[in-house]
Structure 1
Amino acid sequence: MPPSRSQIRPGLTVDIVQKQDQATGRLTRGVVAGLLTKSPTHPHGIKVRLTTGQVGRVQAVVGEAEAG
């Protein structure tokens, strides 16, 4: 089960699956810039925008972003 919205916040490092990677399940790692899903949970993961501009659904929270 993907993490709920309450477990995700800007600044966290997460693994997301982007729309074009849904068939393969390829994950992209990045730092959350903002949350796009308003509901508390979503069966495929909460949609976020990374600091790189990439958008996808969170599959796992990795941890805090490295300071610096």
Structure 2
Amino acid sequence: MGSGTERKNIKIGAAVSIVLKQDQRSGELTEGIVQSILTKSPVHPHGIKVRLDDGQVGRVKVIHSVED
């Protein structure tokens, strides 16, 4: 499990918790599966911006580990 501020830690299909733009003040997290990575830079201090498979866009706060 890596940091949501580094692009290399986020993979398409990964389970993550993101903060949506409208939830930035409250810090409420939304869970989903990464469909695409929108941030081009390798690091972003507020979290890498992603689009979830349901179309929601936000910054990654938590990357969930996958138990096989």
| Unaligned stretches of 5+ residues in structure 2 | none
Provide the alpha-carbon RMSD of the alignment: 1.6
Name the one with the larger strand percent. Answer: 1
Q: Secondary structure at the match of 2:8?
A: helix
1:12–1:32: 8 Å Cα contact kept in structure 2? yes
Whether 2:58 is the aligned partner of 1:56: answer yes
Shift in Å, 1:20 = 0.1
- The residue that corresponds to 2:34 in the other structure is 32
State the 4+ residue runs in structure 1 displaced beyond 6 angstroms: none
1:17–1:26: 8 Å Cα contact kept in structure 2? yes
Shift in Å, 1:2 = 3.4
The separation in 1 between residues aligned to 2:32 and 2:65, in whole angstroms, is 10
The separation in 2 between residues aligned to 1:63 and 1:34, in whole angstroms, is 18
Q: Deviations along 1:27-59, whole A, 9 cap, x unmatched?
A: 000000000000001010000000000000000
- TM-score of the two chains, using structure 2 as the length reference: 0.89
- The residue that corresponds to 2:24 in the other structure is 22
- TM-score of the two chains, using structure 1 as the length reference: 0.89
Shift in Å, 1:11 = 0.5
The alignment of Structure 1 onto Structure 2 pairs a total of residues equal to 65
